[in-house]
A and B are shown apart, each in its own frame.
Chain A
Amino acid sequence: MAAPTANPQHTPTPVSGTIAVAMSGGVDSSAVAAILKAEGHQIVGLTLQLWNQRRLRPESDGEPEAVTGRCCSLDDVYDARRVAEQVGIPYYVVNQQERFEADVIRPFVSEYLAGRTPIPCTLCNNHLKFDQLLLTAQSIGADRIATGHYARNEFSPERNRWILMRPADHAKDQTYFLFGLTQHQLSRTLFPLGHMTKPEVRIRAAEHGLALAAKPDSQEICFIPDGDYKRFISAYLAEQGEQLPDTAGDMVAPTGEILGHHDGIHNFTVGQRKGLGVSTANPLYVLQVDAANHRIVAGSEDELLSHTLRARNLNWISIPALTAPMRVQVKIRHRHQPAWATITATAPDEVTAEFDEPQRAITPGQAAVFYHNDEVVGGGWIL
């Protein structure tokens, strides 16, 4: 790949061969298809059908296909198909519902039941979008995939590695969800929007005559459009004929003092204030979900602060491995201001991050992503 130039957004994407664009029916991926096509590339549009939005909907929801603008809704597939037709590219819907259920939905549910707070988008990226989609793309004769993620991806000849970087539009940065990408996946992936801001992307979409240029962004977890993950977990287990494990137990202070009772650990996440069901003089926050003992440890906001975290199942991007302590900025959730820390390998496939300043609500199940300036050094899953 060519080195960055002074005016990168006008540099055509320098690759040859067919590119498969992952099209969700949203503005970003639609703009990618239009931009790459206009640059003269041979394009195929692919949409992964991951989830049937009609499955597990609340019973009160009688409207057919009431949710729109969500991943894999019929409306989104319709929009993606219309864009493909308008841009003039072949377009296919690829069914990956079984794999999505096995690799994203199942782990999502079991993580909550184990007292952790999962990130399904990262699992989807690791297992579906940059794994299965790339395989499908290659198997139908495309060399690379392009997505509408806000991230940059360049090859560094000095380091002989592909480097994932934060995008020009830091407000739209999606690198937190992409830390699991392997060198092979990065070498086959294009992020054409990495140099643009969201308003620029909307303008480009409008310039290409795409009717959905003003379509709102999707926010929630795509398979839980109403945001009620507790209802989703109950409904999923009921559908599978499984019992929601009874994890009701005590709500305790860090001292062990019993503050009250709770009706299941999956209803809690570290840092949560609402819905604790205990009234105290000072606001109470969930400090820890103790899955083994069915206990929720609650305390003051100060007690949420922590200087260290441990992360496992690591993936390194800008470095081959962590061989010596390294100064990095660490992001512990999507909407977190990265904080300075020193990371040290403390066990095989495990690092410990020592923060300069204590961080609020370090949450097991979330990812810790390490940055050096705009580069993603790597990341792992918080223990």
Chain B
Amino acid sequence: MQTGDFSLSRIYMDANATTPLLPEVLDTMRPYFLESFGNASSIHQVGQQARAAVEQAREHVANLIHCRPAEIVFTSGGTESDNLALFGLLEPGDQLITTRIEHHAVLHSGEALSKLGVHVTWLGCDARGIISGDALREALEFEISPGVRPRRRLVSIMMANNETGVIQPIAQLAFIAHQAGALFHTDAVQAGGKIPIDIPTLGVDLLTLAGHKMHAPLGTGILFARRGLQLKPLFHGGSHERRRRPGTENLPGIVGLGRAAQLAKDWLASAGNDSGPEKLAALRDRLEQGVLAAVPQTGVNGFGPHGEFVRRVPNTANIYFDHVEGEALVIALDLKGICVSGGSACSSGAVEPSHVLMAMGHTADRARASLRFSLSKLNTDADVDKLLAVLPDAVARLRQLSPKAQQQTLRREADALA
């Protein structure tokens, strides 16, 4: 079998890793690399133009999630925002309650905080990937010694999972946290631009967004921090971003993020089957149903054991292919010009099977046999057609060569002889 032409045009189905910059976003950014290049802290006119552009962008982002512009801190991306939220609030002796399905930016921050003397409580999820309110309530009962609660408690639970797209009941969980007097942070990196985010409804105190997951440039992100919340900055320097994030503002990046937020808001508002989230969800559902119909021994991760309905972002499909090495299938598809991911990009190359799928109770074999297809509004029906044309053969070839399948064949042959 001849592997496909390596120079063929690519079909990109890995939007949860990163999304392409939209041309409109680049157009908006372009002048801020060249003529309006200022330092937003400068007194002169060039600086004033930069300042105006940064504040305009802040308003666009605030409009996307319905908060005050002053509550937006521009950062270098999701990882920095998560770190700022957690390290900016917690001191030794405080409590962090988070989950086993978080992105590494929260997971590893939690581990680091634990070493610094923060009491960290890890919540599991059910088979669908949902964190239960009861588990959170119980974690909030934690006492350092009888009758002694940690001085400050922070709950950090992601809004949508990067691997499965499963959406957590954030408003309900934040309510529980607040009832117990704890603060609530959500990593909404995988929700941003995919589902409406309404801060007043959610009631969260802190929220992370990353630009590059919503067609803004890499290296941009925000932390929403409710007014009045005192955040220790991660870095030391100037008084930028209301003393929460020193460093000269990444002007073109921030402008791009603002424009992308505007476009995301418009897209989320566009209703009907022909545009917006419903169209994307329909495309994703077609992909899922198409794969399940065309390839035997497959299923979707993120449904309960009995196929219960679970809320997911409209772009993500996490599908298992039994007896297939997911890593090899990713390569095989790439050589056919289709970009997908096994698990999350951050754990590619790592030994461990996806911590998210494992937390959902799947076996390591199932986790390793799982692939993530994540679409964006730029994907088309033709992309899904191409995938469905290529995937069955690729899976069949892998299964034929898989050691497990070979063992089964040998066993069948041995049984036939006996």
Given A90-B6, A139-B397: A44 touches B350 (CB 8 Å cut-off): no
A97 CB-CB contact with B under 8 Å: yes
CB interface residues, B 390-413, toward A, < 8 Å: 394, 397-398, 401-403
Which residues from A are CB-within-8-Å of B97?
none
Q: Which residue of B lies closest to A93 (CB)?
A: B349
**Number of residue pairs across A and B with beta carbons under 8 Å?**
61
> A42 touches which one: B6, B327, B332, B334 (CB < 8 A)?
B6
Chain A residues bordering chain B, tally (CB within 8 A): 23
Given A138-B401, A140-B335, A141-B397: A44 touches B3 (CB 8 Å cut-off): yes
Mark interface residues in A131-155 (1 if CB within 8 Å of B CB, else 0).
0000110111111000000000000
Q: Is the beta-carbon distance between A136 and B397 smaller than 8 angstroms?
A: no
Instruction: Tell me the complex Cα distance, A52–B349, Å.
Output: 11
Which residues from A are CB-within-8-Å of B271?
none
Q: Is the beta-carbon distance between A18 and B401 smaller than 8 angstroms?
A: no
Instruction: Tell me the complex Cα distance, A377–B2, Å.
Output: 34
Given A42-B6, A139-B325, A139-B328: A95 touches B401 (CB 8 Å cut-off): no
Q: Is the beta-carbon distance between B335 and A139 smaller than 8 angstroms?
A: no
Q: Is the beta-carbon distance between A42 and B2 smaller than 8 angstroms?
A: yes
Q: Is the beta-carbon distance between B1 and A143 smaller than 8 angstroms?
A: yes
A232 CB-CB contact with B under 8 Å: no
Instruction: Tell me the complex Cα distance, A93–B350, Å.
Output: 10
Q: Is the beta-carbon distance between A141 and B3 smaller than 8 angstroms?
A: yes
Which residues from B are CB-within-8-Å of A356?
none
A17 CB-CB contact with B under 8 Å: yes
CB interface residues, B 225-259, toward A, < 8 Å: none
Determine how close the nearest CB of chain B comes to the CB of A49; give it in whole angstroms. 7
Which residues from A are CB-within-8-Å of B351?
52, 95, 97-98
Instruction: Tell me the complex Cα distance, A49–B349, Å.
Output: 8
Given A97-B351, A135-B401: A140 touches B6 (CB 8 Å cut-off): no
Q: Which residue of B lies closest to A77 (CB)?
A: B349
Determine how close the nearest CB of chain A comes to the CB of B202; give it in whole angstroms. 38
Determine how close the nearest CB of chain A comes to the CB of B388; give it in whole angstroms. 18
Which residues from B are CB-within-8-Å of A139?
325, 328, 332, 397-398, 401-402
Query: Which of the listed residues A17, A49, A95 has the most CB atoms from chain B within 10 Å of its own CB?
Result: A95
Given A140-B328, A141-B397: A44 touches B335 (CB 8 Å cut-off): yes
CB interface residues, B 86-124, toward A, < 8 Å: none
Q: Which residue of B lies closest to A17 (CB)?
A: B2
B331 CB-CB contact with A under 8 Å: yes
Which residues from B are CB-within-8-Å of A135?
401, 403
Instruction: Tell me the complex Cα distance, A169–B325, Å.
Output: 38
Which residues from A are CB-within-8-Å of B349?
49, 93, 95
Determine how close the nearest CB of chain B comes to the CB of A238; give it in whole angstroms. 20
Q: Is the beta-carbon distance between B331 and A42 smaller than 8 angstroms?
A: no
Give residues in A with beta carbon < 8 Å to B: 16-18, 42, 44, 49, 52, 89-90, 92-95, 97-98, 135-136, 138-143
14 new A-B contacts at CB < 8 Å, known A90-B334, A94-B327 = A18-B3, A42-B3, A52-B351, A94-B328, A98-B351, A135-B401, A138-B401, A139-B397, A139-B398, A141-B2, A141-B3, A141-B332, A141-B397, A142-B3
Closest 4 CB pairs of A and B: A141-B3, A18-B3, A140-B332, A139-B398
A-B contact pairs, 24 of them (CB 8 A): A17-B3, A18-B3, A18-B335, A44-B3, A52-B351, A90-B6, A92-B331, A95-B327, A95-B350, A95-B351, A98-B351, A135-B401, A135-B403, A136-B325, A136-B331, A138-B397, A139-B325, A140-B332, A140-B335, A141-B1, A141-B3, A141-B336, A141-B397, A143-B1
